[in-house]
Amino acid sequence: MRLWEHWEDLPIRLRAGLSALFLVLALLLLWWPSGWAWPTRTLAHRALEREHLFGRGEIVAEGEITRSEEASPMHQPGTHFVVSERDGRYAVSVLRPKWGFLWRSTDDLFWSYQVLTPTEEKPLAYGFLVSDPIYTVNSGMVGTSGWEYLLLVASADPDIVRVEVTMDLVNRDELEQDPDWGLHHGVTVEAAETEPGSGLWLAPITLEETGGGTYIVLRGYDAAGELVYTYIPQ
């Protein structure tokens, strides 16, 4: 009662200011357990831009991330991606919903935020949006039978209108036998442009292998079908 009496004695403006402060503190206490999630995907992406000192870029692509029924993400999976461009660099965030109405980055430290930097000399650059194992049950034992990937490829060359991605999992012995092992044995897919003329492509790839390092080859073609650029890992 005494506290209320003292409250009533305060000037109206001071009470209004303290009420607003208490409201902000209450909202922060409610926001904190969400992992500082945001009400829209764009705002979540902007927060990652600021956190990584990228600057405010132009949103050039966003979309839903789909997986096959066989894929089993090891972490809380991202469901959407957002891409912004600034000075020829692309900030890529992988986001997931929180509490059904907020958005935040995924818990996967590798794919939650990346910057792709294609250049004039190397006009194609890639990053992963998905890297999920595929599990199967054999004789009562659960094992990994393959991997499902989703790559995002960015281009700095407007002449490139079609992109192919070849991928494989290669170990050291195989590379010693054949330096281009992944190129000769990998899975090749034609990437799908996010929008016509966007310079961004999505490439879903499933590998029925479990061991080795990733080996990725990128090829860019012009409108006449001529090969413009090839990236082969060294």
CB 182 within 8 A of CB 166: yes
Q: pLDDT of 164-194, one tens digit each? A: 999 999 887 777 787 777 777 889 999 999 9
CB atoms within 10 A of CB 72: 14
Q: Report how far residue 83's alpha carbon sits from residue 63's, in angstroms, rounded to the nearest whole number.
A: 9
CB 85 within 8 A of CB 58: yes
Q: For the residues of 85-147, what is the DSSP string, one character each?
A: EETTEEEEEEEEEETTTEEEE-S-TTTSEEEE---SSS-EEEEEEEEEEEEEEETTEEEEEEE
Residue by residue, pLDDT tens for the chain (234 residues) are 455 555 566 576 655 665 565 544 444 445 444 455 779 999 999 999 999 999 999 999 999 998 888 887 877 788 999 999 999 999 999 999 987 788 988 876 677 999 999 999 999 999 999 988 888 777 666 677 889 999 999 999 999 999 999 999 988 777 778 777 777 788 999 999 999 999 999 999 999 877 788 999 999 999 999 999 999 887
Model's pTM, two decimal places?
A: 0.83
And the tokens for 4?
């209320």
Mean pLDDT, all residues of the chain: 84
CB atoms within 10 A of CB 137: 9
And the tokens for 215?
């080996």
Q: Report how far residue 125's alpha carbon sits from residue 157's, in angstroms, rounded to the nearest whole number.
A: 11
The β-bridge relationship of strands 58-64 and 80-86 is antiparallel
